[in-house]
Amino acid sequence: MAQSKITLIGFYNYYKAVDKDLFANLSFPTGIDKDVVVNNILLRGGEFEVLFSNPAFLENMMSVWSAKNAWTFNRWLNAINIEYDPLHNYDRHEEYSDSRTEGETVNRNMTNSESGNRGENVTALDHSISNGTGETTNGISAYDSSNYSPHDKSDSSSTGENTSTATTNVTGNDSRSASGTDNSNKLLNSMIEHTAHLYGNIGVTTSQQMLKDELDIAKWNLYNQIADLFISEFCIYTY
């Protein structure tokens, strides 16, 4: 005896007949095609009986289902879009920076002094000799004559010598001094930045095994996962 049941595709066709969309309240993150999801849900679970007999209630619950699974859908989408080399099992990025500051302060007080005594003796000697001769003649004239006649004559000579000495003493003191202050501050800042990307196969797993794992991951289908999650929420797994 045949038993009637309300299936998911039955609700879908009922809404379509009255120009309505049963899946109108479904929403997905950017990157997931809603039409592909809806068609895959109908393909995989269209013949299953729906959990709720009221299509309007089912339609409203789809918006709740979309909201509560939005984070999960985003994580799935981000995970399958990660770029990586399937034959590398080591991928390390490192960045670090070293900073160093060195300071030096120098304070110096400088004093310089010089002194000296200076003495000087100057002696001057002056020596002179003078010689001289002279002749004196006296003349006389008669009272009745205008001419003079020699009366007497005398000769004289002189010799002189003069010596003088002068001594001068000069003494003096010479002193000089200088002082100063030298203050200096030195500050040195240095920064070393390092960036490295280390990757490859470290030998723990063979390349063949990693390739096999990559092919297994490729079998994981995002749209099948979403469809199965929907069917498990709203359908009864009976034919």
> Mind listing the pLDDT tens digit for each residue in 56-80?
999 999 999 999 999 999 999 999 9
Report the pLDDT value the prediction gives residue 120, as an integer from 0 to 100.
61
Which has more pLDDT, 55 or 191?
A: 55
Minimal CA–CA distance to 42: which of 223, 201, 213?
A: 223
The CA distance from 100 to 192, in Å, is: 9
The predicted model scores a pTM of 0.58
CA angle 88, 94, 99 (to 5 degrees): 165
Pairing of strands 90-140, 235-236: unpaired
Residue 150 has pLDDT above 70, yes or no: no
Residue 50's CB is within 10 A of a number of other CB atoms, namely 22
Helix axis angle for 34-45 and 8-17, nearest 10°, is: 130
Q: What are the φ/ψ torsions at residue 81 (nearest 5 degrees)?
A: -100, 5
Which has more pLDDT, 63 or 205?
A: 63
Report the chain's mean pLDDT, rounded to a whole number: 82
Residue 22's CB is within 10 A of a number of other CB atoms, namely 22
**Percent residues over pLDDT 90 in the chain:** 45
Q: Which residue has the tokens 């709203």?
A: 234
116 and 174 in contact (C-beta within 8 Å)? yes
Residue 108: partners with Cβ closer than 8 Å, 6 or more residues away: 181, 182, 183
Residues making up the chain, counted from first to last:
239
Show the tokens assigned to 236: 């009864």
| 150-158 average pLDDT score | 61
Burial 76-110 (b: 16+ CB within 10 A, else e): beeeeeeeeeeeebeeeeeeeeeeeeeeeeeeeee
Report the pLDDT value the prediction gives residue 193, as an integer from 0 to 100.
86
Q: What are the φ/ψ torsions at residue 164 (nearest 5 degrees)?
A: -135, 145
| 143-147 average pLDDT score | 58
Stated as kind and residue range, the H or E segment containing 170 is: strand 149-200
Report the pLDDT value the prediction gives residue 197, as an integer from 0 to 100.
87
- The rounded Cα 189 to chain-centroid distance in angstroms is 9
Report the pLDDT value the prediction gives residue 108, as an integer from 0 to 100.
73
Report the pLDDT value the prediction gives residue 205, as an integer from 0 to 100.
86
Flag the least confident range among 18-22, 86-90, 194-198, 208-212: 86-90
| pLDDT tens sequence across 65-120 | 999 999 999 999 999 999 989 888 788 888 878 888 877 776 777 676 666 666 66
Which has more pLDDT, 236 or 191?
A: 236
**Dihedral, CA atoms, 34, 39, 40, 43, nearest 10 degrees?**
170
